Amino acid sequence: MNKTAYLSVYDKTGIVDLARGLDGLGFEIYSSGSTFKLLKESGIDAEEIRYSPPVPVSVLKAISGFPAVLSENGVEVPKPYLVAANLYPIANIVGQEEFAVEELADYLDQANASVLRAAARDFENIITLCRPEDYGPVLETLGEAGGLEPEKKRQLSAKAWQYMAAYEATVAQYLSETRDLLGEEVVMSLKKVMDLSYGENRHQKAAFYALSGARPRGLNSARILSGGQFNLNHYLDLNTAFELAAEFEEPVCVISKHARPAGVCAAAKPVDCFRGAFKADPAGSAGGTAAFNRAVDEETALALKEVFIESVVAPDYGKEALALLRAKEGLRVIALPAPVLSPREVELYSVSGGLLVEIKDQEVLGSGLQCVTRRKPSDEELRSLKLAWKISKYAKTYAVALASGGASVSVSAGESSTYDAVLGAVAKLREKHPIFGNKAPLVMACDAALPLKTLEVALLAGVNAVIQPGGWREDLLCAQFCDLKNAAMLLTGVRHFKH
């Protein structure tokens, strides 16, 4: 075995121990730059290889098997058996708010990138190390067996290629911020945020990833203030509740469960928002996630302690409120500021043989909102219509949301037709609120265009105003039927299917 190693790393974690271990095994160590300086300061005998940036030609030639390669300082560079190299943490840099694109070239590591790629290319002959956690196991194997099996070299080479791919994809993502994400080739680098306790079911493993180098703006910027471990379902609920709450300018509470809205209420105070949302569907809200778009105060925290809620997310918490919530066993408390909407957000769907990618649905009402009935909705109706419309956007298609007095009263989603969705919403209304004593008018939103048959069921159930996309051949008949029943109807011109 050729006992030579070349070490050149930005992340110095464990590199001294690696070099010392290799020295103890009789390796001849070559190094450069700040890594060489650190090894010398640590008392490790190493040979310095000097070269002019940006690319270490002498090192690359040695890796490629060129005979009698000399560095700029006259050192003969042999072909190494082991190469340890890693790169400047570009993801940490481009993710900073103050970073400017003009600075990017100054941080790109061409030298070690070239070394890593050359070493990983010759995976049959070279041990390629790019991650400090691999140093110890490799040293142990070298000490026990004198070398590494071909399969292990291939695994380490694969790690290096993945490391390089993530590095380059991060750069590509950053540079393509103003470009179409649906191009012929899309690169995506993901950085693990955390391991999750399990996926949708306990037998499934799962983890949370964020785009490498992306500036924190969503759940990857959340501060977990208290509570147990999170699973995939917790994050799906958090995302639904948090994004729907962020759609509102007025104070609101959204309770979601199984990634669908269970109860939503907009009111003057957070505590009234929460009580209204929970009252809308107590069974559906139990064990769910409550999201607020205002800080949670002590009064709201006391109300949260009275019921079974698994998670609460808000921009901030009062001191007394946080103490109360932390004292509740099993409650997960998350602080998360409202996100800045990005036109570059995408939705991904895994299908057999690939991925479906679409631009995220960031429309709300669209620009074509129009009233198509003689009677226009009252201010009170309009407020509830807008609330119901936002709910329908986040419920699974086909979805119908009934609302009254600025709060949801029934949500039906995931049906195969709008007719079934309306029947389900009406049935839930009668079951959960058998004596609907709310003096405020009852309104309905549907995420898809309404046939006349579906509309008739809704109005006969007591709905006073409707909001829907329109675009169906029976739009005119629906408007005429609303006029007959003195109901108001708005068409948005945009639909919100969600599967």
pLDDT tens for 428-483 read: 988 877 666 667 899 999 999 999 999 999 999 999 999 999 989 999 999 999 99
Question: How confident is the model at residue 271, as a pLDDT?
Answer: 97
Instruction: Classify domain 222-335 by CATH number.
Output: 3.40.140.20
Of the pLDDT bands very low, low, confident and very high (cuts 50, 70, 90), residue 337 is confident
* Longest Cα separation, the chain: 96
Question: How confident is the model at residue 437, as a pLDDT?
Answer: 62
Question: How confident is the model at residue 94, as a pLDDT?
Answer: 74
Question: How confident is the model at residue 339, as a pLDDT?
Answer: 67
Domain ranges of the chain: 4-175, 222-335, 370-491
pLDDT tens, 369-379?
899 999 999 99
Is the pLDDT at 490 greater than 70? The verdict is yes
Is the pLDDT at 168 greater than 80? The verdict is yes
Average the pLDDT over each of 54-58, 241-245, 291-295, 380-384 and give the range with the smallest value.
54-58
All residues at 6 or more sequence positions from 189 whose CB lies less than 8 Å from its CB, including other chains: 91, 165, 166, 167, 169, 170, 173, 211, 212, 213
Mean pLDDT of 275-280: 94
Is the pLDDT at 361 greater than 90? The verdict is no
Question: How confident is the model at residue 177, as a pLDDT?
Answer: 62
Question: How confident is the model at residue 435, as a pLDDT?
Answer: 60
Average the pLDDT over each of 122-131, 199-208, 209-218 and give the range with the smallest value.
209-218
Domain 4-175 shares a fold with domain 222-335: no
Is the pLDDT at 176 greater than 80? The verdict is no
Question: How confident is the model at residue 459, as a pLDDT?
Answer: 96
Task: Compute the distance between CA of residue 458 and CA of residue 363 in angstroms, rounded to an integer.
Answer: 25
Is the pLDDT at 181 greater than 70? The verdict is no
Is the pLDDT at 219 greater than 90? The verdict is no
Question: How confident is the model at residue 452, as a pLDDT?
Answer: 96
Closest CA to 129 of 28, 235, 8, 215: 8
Instruction: Classify domain 4-175 by CATH number.
Output: 3.40.50.1380
Mean pLDDT score of the chain: 90
Element (H, E) at 401: strand 400-404
Of the pLDDT bands very low, low, confident and very high (cuts 50, 70, 90), residue 1 is low
Q: How many residues does the chain have?
A: 499
Percent of the chain exceeding pLDDT 90 equals: 67
β-sheet bridge partners, residue 365 = none
Is the pLDDT at 179 greater than 60? The verdict is no
Is the pLDDT at 289 greater than 80? The verdict is yes
Instruction: Count CB atoms within 10 A of the CB of residue 74.
Output: 7
Mean pLDDT of 146-163: 94
Of the pLDDT bands very low, low, confident and very high (cuts 50, 70, 90), residue 346 is confident
Q: CB burial class (10 A; 0-12, 13-18, 19+) of residue 159? A: middle
The torsion defined by the Cα of 327, 337, 394 and 466, in degrees rounded to 10, comes to 100
Mean pLDDT of 238-247: 92
Cβ atoms of 339 and 268 within 8 Å: the answer is no
Token output for 112: 């070690």
pLDDT tens, 41-95?
999 999 999 887 778 888 888 888 888 788 888 888 899 999 999 998 887 777 7
What's the distance, CA 154 to chain centroid?
A: 31
370-491 CATH fold: Cytidine Deaminase; domain 2 (3.40.140)
Task: Compute the distance between CA of residue 33 and CA of residue 31 in angstroms, rounded to an integer.
Answer: 7
How open is the CA angle 172-175-179, to the nearest 5 degrees?
A: 100
Question: How confident is the model at residue 438, as a pLDDT?
Answer: 65
